[in-house]
Amino acid sequence: MYPRSFHYHRAKSLQEAAAMLAQLGDQAKLLAGGQSLIPLMKLRFANPAHLVDLNFIAGTSYIHSEAGVGEGGYSETGVSEGGVLRFGALTRHAEIENSALAATVPILHDCAAGIADVQIRNRGTIGGSLAEADPSGDWACVLSTLSTEVRCLGASSPERVIPLSEFILDAYTSALQPDELVSEVMVKIPVKGSGGAYLAFKRSAPVYPTASAAVQLTMEGDRCTDVAIALGCVGLTAIKAKDAEAALRGQTLNDKALAAAGEAASAAAEPQDDMRGSADYKRALVGALVKRAIAIAARRAHGEQVEVSHIYA
Ligand SMILES: Cc1cc2nc3c(=O)[nH]c(=O)nc-3n(C[C@H](O)[C@H](O)[C@H](O)COP(=O)(O)OP(=O)(O)OC[C@H]3O[C@@H](n4cnc5c(N)ncnc54)[C@H](O)[C@@H]3O)c2cc1C
């Protein structure tokens, strides 16, 4: 189906885009990669009268690293412990997938490389994904296991920096004000001895996962000293599996600890029956994904290069 007709506006700067949102009101929508918005418009679930295109604004697609305060400089990988990776809002999934800088935090590469297919990854953006707050979106799940902040720019308000945990409020609902947009996503580089992994179970590439698990942990020898676990597609937003984290923190990573974390993750999930599977099936699935992701994250924390890809039915 064709979308309803709309007025097209090409913004020259993020400030101008925010001003257009303020001026045009709730009939206006921002257009980034269009990989969520355009399908909704073609189905006529979204019928904006005005589209404000962000794609021609220079300097909105980048991946930079910045040394932490008081850090001595960059390591040979270009990142410094305590530093920050900065992603422009219009940075495409594919740019992150192909970035050596982003790959220094392997869970970011896992996420970017697994989103849908290459066509969608070439257009879809990290800023659009977080702004959409789709319960099945991969970025919100993965970034919630890292220390992530979202920079927001408004027409009428000062710039705000919002922790990701306060940015996504509910399914398809973010903390953005009507005249605000996402300008940048900032991710703190994990400390030495950390590793992460993101695994999703999918029926095929160009569909959202049935369930997914993101794990970021820190190891001292065999002992897990810190861990963050998030579950995707099994709730209205990504779920932080706090009991699963507690089952691992301070523990030696053996089969018993992994089983306890997997069980706690299954219990934390809030899935619904749908065409992707029953709620019971998804609960069992997400527990299994968490266990696998912990094992891979621990190997990476010990410096092993481990390639992962999503698991296909
Ligand atoms: C067939 C298909 C399969 C997909 N599979 C997956 C998948 O497996 N995993 C996954 O994570 N995603 C998947 N996606 C979605 C894809 O990742 C999108 O890129 C992403 O959800 C939205 O990013 P976008 O840049 O395309 O945003 P758009 O579609 O352009 O915009 C989405 C919404 O965000 C708003 N918006 C966009 N940019 C900003 C900004 N900077 N500030 C404020 N608001 C903004 C728009 O106004 C709109 O409301 C899939 C999409 C398709 C079509």
Asked whether residue 254 falls in the same domain as residue 308, the answer is yes
* pLDDT higher than 90, residue 72: no
Report which protein residue has its CA nearest ligand 1's atom 37.
Answer: 128
Q: What is the pLDDT of residue 80?
A: 64
pLDDT one-digit tens code per residue, 267-278: 999 999 999 999
**Stated pTM of the model:** 0.95
Asked whether residue 115 falls in the same domain as residue 157, the answer is yes
* pLDDT higher than 70, residue 62: yes
Question: Which of 134, 167, 188 is the endpoint of a domain?
Answer: 188
pLDDT one-digit tens code per residue, 7-31: 999 999 999 999 999 999 999 999 9
Q: What is the pLDDT of residue 218?
A: 98
Report which protein residue has its CA nearest ligand 1's atom 41.
Answer: 182
- Mean pLDDT of the region 196-212: 94
Asked whether residue 171 falls in the same domain as residue 198, the answer is no
Question: Ramachandran region of residue 44, left (φ > 0), alpha (ψ -120 to 50) or beta?
Answer: left
The angle subtended at Cα 298 by Cα 189 and Cα 134, nearest 5°, is 60
Distance 85 CA to ligand 1 centre (A): 21
pLDDT one-digit tens code per residue, 33-49: 999 999 999 999 999 99
In-domain check, residue 142:
yes
- Asked if residue 125 lies in contact with residue 96, where contact means CB atoms within 8 angstroms, the answer is no
Domain extent, residue 227, equals 194-312
The angle subtended at Cα 10 by Cα 117 and Cα 43, nearest 5°, is 50
Q: What is the pLDDT of residue 157?
A: 85
**Confidence grade of residue 68 (pLDDT, cut at 50, 70, 90):** low
Q: Which atom of ligand 1 is nearest to the CA of 40?
A: 29
Asked whether residue 232 falls in the same domain as residue 283, the answer is yes
Q: What is the pLDDT of residue 313?
A: 78
Ligand 1 shell residues, CB under 6 Å: 29-37, 39, 89, 115-116, 120, 123-125, 127-129, 131-132, 134, 137-139, 176, 181-182, 206, 208
Q: For residues 101 and 59, what is the distance between their CA atoms, to the nearest angstrom? A: 18
Asked whether residue 216 falls in the same domain as residue 304, the answer is yes
Asked whether residue 174 falls in the same domain as residue 215, the answer is no
**Confidence grade of residue 73 (pLDDT, cut at 50, 70, 90):** very low
Total count of domains within the chain? 3
Q: What are phi and psi of 286, to 5 degrees?
A: -65, -30
Token pair in block for residue 286: 């997400």
* pLDDT higher than 50, residue 70: no
Q: What is the pLDDT of residue 292?
A: 97
Q: What is the pLDDT of residue 205?
A: 87
pLDDT one-digit tens code per residue, 87-98: 999 999 999 999
In-domain check, residue 58:
no
**Confidence grade of residue 79 (pLDDT, cut at 50, 70, 90):** low
Report which protein residue has its CA nearest ligand 1's atom 17.
Answer: 124
- Mean pLDDT of the region 160-172: 98
Asked whether residue 207 falls in the same domain as residue 271, the answer is yes
**Confidence grade of residue 78 (pLDDT, cut at 50, 70, 90):** low
* CATH number of the domain that residue 241 is part of: 3.30.390.50
